[in-house]
Structure 1
Amino acid sequence: MLIFHPAGGNTTAYEALVKRLPADVPVIGFDRVEGSIEERVEQYMPKLREIQPHGPYVLVGWSLGGALAYGAAQTLLAAGEEVAFVGLIDVVRPSEDVPDTPENKRARLERWKSFAVKTYGLDENIPVPMDRLVEADDDEQFAIIMEMMAMSDAKIPGGIIEHQRTSFIDNRVLSNIDPTPYDGKVVLYRADKMHDGAIELEPQWAQIDEDGRWGEVVDDLEILHIGGDHLGIVDEPHIAKVAADLGERMKGLKKQ
Structure 2
Amino acid sequence: MALDRTDIEQIISEIWEDLLDVDVDPEDDFFELGGYSLLIVNVVTEARKRGLELAAGDIYTHKTPAAIADALNPAGGSAEPAAASADPDFSTVWESGLSPMRTEPSATLVPLATEGTGTPVFCFHWGTGNVRFMADLVDSFRGGRPAYGLEMAGLWGRERPALSIVEMAARYLKEIRTVQPEGPYLFVGPCAGGRIAYEIARQLEANGEQVAVLAVINTMPPGTTELDAAWGLRELYDFRLSSLRERFEVPDLHTDQERLMRGMVDIAWLDEGVDPADLHWRQAVWAAGVFAQEHYEPRPYGGEITVIQLAEDADRPEADWAPLAGSTETHAVASAGTLALLRDAVVAEIIAKKLAGHGA
- Distance in 1, matches of 2:151 and 2:238, equals 30
| 1:74-121, Cα deviation, whole Å (9 max, x unpaired) | 11111111111211011115866765447x999878855643654442
Residue 184 in structure 1 maps to residue 303 in structure 2: yes
Q: CA RMSD in A?
A: 3.3
Residue 46 in structure 1 maps to residue 153 in structure 2: no
Aligned residue-pair number:
208
| 1:43-87, Cα deviation, whole Å (9 max, x unpaired) | 122221221111111111111211111111111111111111211
- Distance in 1, matches of 2:175 and 2:136, equals 25
Task: Determine which of 281, 291, 296 is the counterpart of 1:172.
Answer: 291
Task: Determine which of 120, 135, 141 is the counterpart of 1:21.
Answer: 141
| 1:18-66, Cα deviation, whole Å (9 max, x unpaired) | 1212542221211112211111112122221221111111111111211
Give the direction of change, closer, same or farther, for the CA distance of 1:9–1:112 in structure 2 (3 Å limit). closer
Residue 158 in structure 1 maps to residue 252 in structure 2: no
- Distance in 2, matches of 1:45 and 1:107, equals 30
Give the direction of change, closer, same or farther, for the CA distance of 1:174–1:227 in structure 2 (3 Å limit). farther
TM-score (norm 1): 0.68
Is contact 2:184–2:209 with CA below 8 Å preserved after alignment? yes
- Distance in 2, matches of 1:122 and 1:219, equals 48
Letter in 2 for 1:57: Y
- Distance in 1, matches of 2:173 and 2:186, equals 14
Task: Determine which of 318, 325, 331 is the counterpart of 1:224.
Answer: 331
Map 1:1-256 to 2 at 5 A. Answer: 1-33=121-153, 34-35=161-162, 36-93=164-221, 100-101=229-230, 112=240, 114-115=242-243, 118=246, 119-122=249-252, 157-192=276-311, 209=316, 212-236=319-343, 238=344, 240-254=345-359
- Distance in 1, matches of 2:197 and 2:178, equals 17
Give the direction of change, closer, same or farther, for the CA distance of 1:158–1:248 in structure 2 (3 Å limit). same
Letter in 2 for 1:247: A
Structure 2: runs of 5+ lacking an equivalent: 1-120, 154-160, 254-275
- Distance in 2, matches of 1:39 and 1:96, equals 20
Instruction: Specify the alignment match of 2:45 in structure 1.
Output: none
Instruction: Specify the alignment match of 1:149 in structure 2.
Output: none
Letter in 1 for 2:251: G
Instruction: Specify the alignment match of 2:15 in structure 1.
Output: none
Which secondary structure state, in structure 2, belongs to the residue aligned with residue 28 of structure 1? strand
Structure of higher RCO (CA pairs closer than 8 Å, 6+ residues apart): 1
Give the direction of change, closer, same or farther, for the CA distance of 1:114–1:21 in structure 2 (3 Å limit). closer
Is contact 2:342–2:348 with CA below 8 Å preserved after alignment? no
Fraction of identical pairs, as percent: 22
Structure 1: runs of 5+ lacking an equivalent: 124-156, 195-206
Q: Tell me which structure has the larger Cα radius of gyration.
A: 2
Structure 1 residue 212, shift from structure 2 partner: 1.9
